[in-house]
Structure 1
């Protein structure tokens, strides 16, 4: 936990974990695992209720380096960007309350046709195409639902989403050099109303 460095846990064999955190606090969980890129989640503000399904999507160092090459993002030998990268997914409300097994079993959970905005404003949201590849030519989200910003300066950012007939949650990303912030499902830009996918 970035804000509380002494708060740590080790996941169980199935990847699940529990971690008690302070109430009414800002917390940014992150994960480290040998051979994998370190990933930070969005910054949560706790409000006296449990946060469920706070999952990590963590690529191997090789995959992180390949994605960096594809996007022209300078990557260190440890597989981390030299600046910050923010990633999220426009995800259907249908996966919001599923347990991990149900979430994995659901399959594709993206919302196509959405756009994301970052504040303070930065250029260049990159949407993932139907083949799950970040594609600078893609102007809206695909059924994959992924979106990212590369080479983000240090700072705190609010990310919002829009699509006619839908509403989405927003999230806060706290960027520092070398950090990948992945606000992944069922958190991040999850759908709060609108047709399911």
Structure 2
């Protein structure tokens, strides 16, 4: 649990707070609603791994209270059954719904994002590594999102998206097959962001 939380914090510090002061990167980050929500999710996910049911129940009680605060206070819903890799970052808050699906590492979610089921499709979406899901985007149904993908603002994804693509629109269509937003950012070439 702590390694995943540490990975989430480091990714957020490197991605969004790299130009900010020490105070913002190391203190204020813990007051950010997205950080609080992802930490509560990590705690809830960890409690599911406790084998002894009585002890698991004791640890789940605080999780339910914390989750209620995150859902009602910040508008962020992430079930503890979701499988999310390290480097999970929520930028901003409000109107975020994430289903019980799977996400890889280094996934960024902005406000107003929904990742969920569609009627008649029992499986939730599967999200790869290094995916940016912009504000208002919806990823719906039994779709697979590849690695190194950008989903544009207010897009509705109802079909699979291959690796290294940028998609936009309703329904989302591929507008670029040369997406390398993560490698440019990590290399320090962030002039376009």
Instruction: State TM-score, norm by structure 1.
Output: 0.29
Higher normalized contact order (CA 8 Å, seq sep 6+, divided by chain length):
1
Structure with greater helix percent: 2
Instruction: State TM-score, norm by structure 2.
Output: 0.29
Structure with greater strand percent: 1
